[in-house]
Amino acid sequence: MLEIEGASINYGPVSAVRNVSLTVEKGEIVALLGPNGAGKTSLLSAAMGLRPLAAGSIRFKGEDLRKLDTETRVRRGLTLTPEGRKVFANLTVLENLELGAATRKKGAEIHHDMEMCFELFPILAERRHQTGGSLSGGEQQMLAIARSLMSRPSLLMLDEPSLGLAPRIVQQIFRLIRDLRGRDLTILLVEQNAHEVLRFADRAYVLSTGECRYAGPASRLHDKDALMQAYIGELVA
């Protein structure tokens, strides 16, 4: 569904990502792991067209994305729940969801999807008239995910959904991400919380200082040593 090949991303003279290839197949949950500053967020930004690629290609459902702007990529079914949630703090929960459906026209379907979001996240239904800024961190993360779902994406990219949340809330968010797979949704998940994510991801990539250190089944990283080695260096096996 998503094919990134040989991607390199630069910030001025600084190279953030070098020659990284990554694919996501329909129906998968793919984890993109790695320490801070590894280039995970840069890679997602490039997939959304917020960052230019210095080299390499990105295809989505077979279509070359490089010529399409961010707004058009959303219309093609790609969506990103950004790092730090980026809920519109001055808008109500309902207004946030309404903007999430910005690419869609049919009012009845949008309304139906909002009700679906409220079923998934009952707390949002209670808070529907509150502003995004008045929600707790966990509620904001739920709102950010619900807002992404409102565009009816086929691939949902989540950037650090557990960032800054209490462990109990993190469990709740991860459970929800697992449930979303059953809804005909493909997920690319960026996380620092590697152990948790590897339990339910199908495949994993480990990025470190801009380079791909591991690509393969998530199960192979269940072993602590293997994960450690993927993070910090070559396998000595």
Residues at the contact surface with other proteins, assessed by CB under 8 A:
48, 50, 70-71, 74-75, 79-80, 82, 86, 88-91, 95, 98-100, 102-103, 147, 151
> Any bridge partners for residue 203, and if so which?
30, 217
Angle, in degrees to the nearest 10, between helices 137-149 and 107-120: 140
CB-wise, 1 or 48, nearer to other proteins?
48
Q: How far is the CB of 221 from other proteins (least distance, A)?
A: 30
Q: How far is the CB of 36 from other proteins (least distance, A)?
A: 20
- Collect all residues with Cβ–Cβ distance below 8 Å to 115 and sequence separation of at least 6: none
Output the six-digit token pair for 198.
């590897």
CB-wise, 71 or 109, nearer to other proteins?
71
CB-wise, 147 or 203, nearer to other proteins?
147
Q: Contact at 8 Å (CB) between 111 and 63?
A: no
CB-wise, 78 or 198, nearer to other proteins?
78
Cβ count within 10 A of residue 184? 9
How do beta strands 155-159 and 29-33 pair?
A: unpaired
**Cα–Cα distance, 99 to 83 (Å, whole number):** 18
Q: How far is the CB of 102 from other proteins (least distance, A)?
A: 4
Q: How far is the CB of 160 from other proteins (least distance, A)?
A: 15
**Cα–Cα distance, 65 to 48 (Å, whole number):** 9
Q: How far is the CB of 105 from other proteins (least distance, A)?
A: 10
CB-wise, 24 or 74, nearer to other proteins?
74
